[in-house]
Structure 1
Amino acid sequence: MPLDDALTARMAEPDFWPVYLFDDDAPDVYDEDAEDQESHVARFQLGGGFALVLDLTLALEYVDLALAAPGLPEPVTVGWDDQAHFHPHVMPWPELDLLCRAVALHDPELRHPGPMLALLCRFAFLADGDDLDGVTPLLDAAFGLMRPGDGEGWVRAETRDWFDLRDLRGTGVAWTSRADGHRAVDQHRGDQHRDDHRDDRLPLYSLRAPGSEDFPFAGWSALLARARERIDIAAGDRTLRAPAVRHALDRCTAPDGYEHLAALADALTSVGYSHPVLMRAVAQPSHRAEACWAVETLSGLPQGELVPRWFGPSPLADSESWRLSLTLPVAERPWRFGQQVAEELSTALQKAGLGRAEVAGSMSRPEGGGYVHTEDRLSLLIRDDLALGVTVIARILHSHRAEESATLRHAGKEGEVIPLRLPT
């Protein structure tokens, strides 16, 4: 069982996901009087000694992912996420989806999309060639199962936040094969796939670099091979060759195929197909996305091919985002002035669906034997409409009489100042 009773119960509490996902408005769960801060471990097993081990300490905002595999004396960290020196870029999206499918096939208690995808998506990222259309329905479904009734709409907030933080397409990320044949990832920061102003491109932080001695390359390759074997076994059942089943699968792999799931379930039952996970996914799916990957597996389609066919283009396909840096002089301002402005900016931007803001750093100068706080630097993410986002920023700053002293730039471009003018 990958999730023990304590973690299952904790995940159902309202504050779990905001804390786990490092949301800006997450409550503080640190207890300075506690000997040991709250921690949990989840083991997502594939059999044969293979498992992904998630170790999370909520109060410390620290999440570690480790690989257990034959030949490894103990689980080896493959990535971690925190608020300081994170290395979360472990795998491309297709690998995470593959592993979630295979673990779900191994453990009938674990649905996909579900808790594994919601917990581990922070360790996956998009690289050139990955299809966003096959991502958003699964993430929406995973968080919809884990947080029912929270954030329904055009696209879930968790999905959009993941996209903002993990979309490394066009940033120079490239996959290579090492001399030992294992895949490694690197980033060539000189690549210019985007507009010239996009020096704010997300950097890659991964232990899976070509020359890394810390990443268990052989064990990871073996884990993926084990996952593919699980899928192949499920797809290779001879009863799936029955004409009635093939006809039902052909109908289900059409764009409106989800309308024919009941007929597929009947056809599978008539030939005695009994895989509990795939039968449940077809006959009683928790979400259309669960039935989708099951039909893909049963029909032998390439992984991810049916998702866009059933769900259409991703709502995020044409989205764009900008990372900005706001320098805010705070000398002679009230204490926490920068934090107050950041909170107001983040609230206004989130309410308008335009992004978020947070304090990213500060500067002080020596004075009178001590130090005087002189400025704060705020990090802002603007989504889809840069001009409107800048207007929101200007209005908040104007309310504090700070628009003339503050400086807004594209992150990474010290010379390009963005005017903070209110519309006339």
Structure 2
Amino acid sequence: MPVPEALREFAGRSSFWSEWFFDDEEPPHRPDLLVTLPVAGGYRLQLDLDFAQPFHRLELAAPGFGPREGTMLGWDAPDEGRPHALRWPELDLIGRVIAIGDPSLAHPGLVVALLSRFTPVTLTDDVPVARALFTAAFQALRPAPLEAGPEQQPIPFFTEPRWWPAPVDPEALTDREIDRLLTGVDGRRGGLDWDRREGLGWVAAQRPEHNELGLTIKSLRLGTERSFPFAGLAELLTSARERLTAEVYGAPWCSPATVVPIARRIVLAGDLSAVPTLLDALEKAGCDHPAVLDALTAPLVPAEAAWVVEEIAGAVPGTLLRLVCPERKVPLADAERARVD
């Protein structure tokens, strides 16, 4: 199983994410976990999680690699690490194509939540898009509300559900907790950024004039580390885009006469109110892809619906997402929470 069942069980708990981001002083008694995420073209990402150390590493496995073989993209530990391995547009693409291949891993959800520790918010990021993906990913992990009701038959005046709200799960991820986690991946006050370098692609960079915290960037993706798999990562991303385009925009049910125009109108309007019309057109065109249909079926999750509409419309990723996800005012990372140390 690519994602261990134990991880799916832990993922909705705020205590797990405090441990994941090394916020707990005491090492948790959790088993080591290996998470395998098939992406495209035979490439996969592997997360090897050791909570006892604690030490977590992210690897890229190329076609033909064995179950535990991979090339290091980044790693993290409480005192030292090289965690900055991915860019937010790359993580968004990876999350989308994984969701298409495995509808149980809806996007944004567990994949974004896990890989966000290796994906800093940087100076040139589309911050509203990154913030919307991060927030929606963790909100999607919340456990179902606890069931509750009267211990005895209520009198008629109090029979409506509003009198018997479900109790709050103390372990559920609150919006405030999600905002706190988000500050921990915000590297802007550390001057964290990305540069495009010929022959390598995107490399991690630091802008001294924006480094308010006096931190030193720690990444394998600097262009000085020969071990970083620049070519392999580029191949993974190319394969991911090709597969995603083929399975959505190039699908037989993605009709250029009926389906695509509706999706493009939704993108241009920046409004999801016409999604039921799009869903009806998809069903009439013979769409049976669970990830697509689930994302567009009420109750809508704006971030999930947005990426599917963008893919159907052939729009630039994030075009609709930034318009339909409300801006959340999250403070910049402070010295204690910055992950660029």
Q: What range describes the TM-score normalised by the shorter chain of this pair? A: 0.7 to 0.9
Partner of 1:58: 51
Asked if residue 220 in structure 1 is aligned to residue 238 in structure 2, the reply is no
1:49 is aligned, of 38, 42, 45, to 42
SS at 1:272 equivalent: coil
Asked if residue 118 in structure 1 is aligned to residue 113 in structure 2, the reply is yes
2:322 is aligned, of 297, 301, 308, to 308
Partner of 2:188: 168
CA distance in 1, matches of 2:189, 2:70: 30
CA distance in 2, matches of 1:322, 1:139: 18
Asked if residue 29 in structure 1 is aligned to residue 28 in structure 2, the reply is yes
TM-score, length-scaled by structure 1? 0.66
Partner of 1:280: 294
How do 1:216-365 residues align onto structure 2 when only pairs under 5 Å count? 216-233=229-246, 234-255=248-269, 257-284=271-298, 287-316=301-330, 319-320=331-332, 322-323=334-335
In proportion to residue count, which structure has more strand?
A: 1
- The verdict on how the C-alpha distance between 1:185 and 1:255 changes in structure 2, with shifts beyond 3 A counting, is same
Q: Which amino acid aligns with 1:280?
A: D
- The verdict on how the C-alpha distance between 1:296 and 1:271 changes in structure 2, with shifts beyond 3 A counting, is same
Offset from partner CA, 1:77-109 (integer Å, 9 cap, x none): 111111022100001111111111111111122
Q: CA RMSD in A?
A: 2.7
Displacement of 1:56:
0.5
- The verdict on how the C-alpha distance between 1:310 and 1:188 changes in structure 2, with shifts beyond 3 A counting, is closer
Partner of 1:182: 200
Displacement of 1:184:
4.2
Q: Which amino acid aligns with 1:87?
A: R
Offset from partner CA, 1:342-362 (integer Å, 9 cap, x none): xxxxxxxxxxxxxxxxxxxxx
Partner of 1:157: 177
Partner of 1:77: 72
Question: Using CA pairs below 8 Å that are at least 6 residues apart, which structure has the higher relative contact order?
Answer: 2
Displacement of 1:161:
2.8
Asked if residue 132 in structure 1 is aligned to residue 127 in structure 2, the reply is yes
CA distance in 2, matches of 1:205, 1:245: 45
Displacement of 1:275:
2.5
Q: Which amino acid aligns with 1:182?
A: L
- The verdict on how the C-alpha distance between 1:201 and 1:224 changes in structure 2, with shifts beyond 3 A counting, is farther
- The verdict on how the C-alpha distance between 1:267 and 1:188 changes in structure 2, with shifts beyond 3 A counting, is closer
- The verdict on how the C-alpha distance between 1:235 and 1:20 changes in structure 2, with shifts beyond 3 A counting, is same
CA distance in 2, matches of 1:381, 1:277: 35
CA distance in 1, matches of 2:85, 2:41: 22
Offset from partner CA, 1:202-248 (integer Å, 9 cap, x none): 43211111121111111111111111112211222254234332343
Displacement of 1:170:
7.3
Unmatched runs of 5 consecutive residues or more in structure 2: 144-168
SS at 2:254 equivalent: helix
SS at 1:6 equivalent: helix
CA distance in 2, matches of 1:8, 1:49: 24
- The verdict on how the C-alpha distance between 1:217 and 1:381 changes in structure 2, with shifts beyond 3 A counting, is closer
- The verdict on how the C-alpha distance between 1:116 and 1:313 changes in structure 2, with shifts beyond 3 A counting, is same
CA distance in 1, matches of 2:261, 2:127: 29
Partner of 2:149: none
CA distance in 1, matches of 2:303, 2:273: 13
SS at 1:166 equivalent: coil
Partner of 2:222: 209
Preserved contact between residue 122 and residue 162 of structure 1 (Cα < 8 Å): no
Preserved contact between residue 96 and residue 107 of structure 2 (Cα < 8 Å): yes
Preserved contact between residue 64 and residue 77 of structure 1 (Cα < 8 Å): yes
CA distance in 2, matches of 1:145, 1:165: 19
CA distance in 1, matches of 2:184, 2:15: 22
What is the identity percentage for the equivalent residue pairs of Structure 1 and Structure 2?
Answer: 32
- The verdict on how the C-alpha distance between 1:303 and 1:170 changes in structure 2, with shifts beyond 3 A counting, is farther
CA distance in 2, matches of 1:164, 1:221: 27
Tell me whether 242-251 or 260-269 shows the greater mean CA deviation: 242-251
Preserved contact between residue 66 and residue 77 of structure 1 (Cα < 8 Å): yes
- The verdict on how the C-alpha distance between 1:283 and 1:202 changes in structure 2, with shifts beyond 3 A counting, is farther
- The verdict on how the C-alpha distance between 1:13 and 1:160 changes in structure 2, with shifts beyond 3 A counting, is closer
Partner of 1:370: none
- The verdict on how the C-alpha distance between 1:321 and 1:283 changes in structure 2, with shifts beyond 3 A counting, is closer
Preserved contact between residue 58 and residue 73 of structure 2 (Cα < 8 Å): yes
Partner of 2:4: 4
Offset from partner CA, 1:289-331 (integer Å, 9 cap, x none): 1111111111111011111111244423xx44543xxxxxxxx
Unmatched runs of 5 consecutive residues or more in structure 1: 31-36, 324-379, 383-411, 413-424
Preserved contact between residue 136 and residue 159 of structure 1 (Cα < 8 Å): no
Q: Which amino acid aligns with 2:263?
A: L
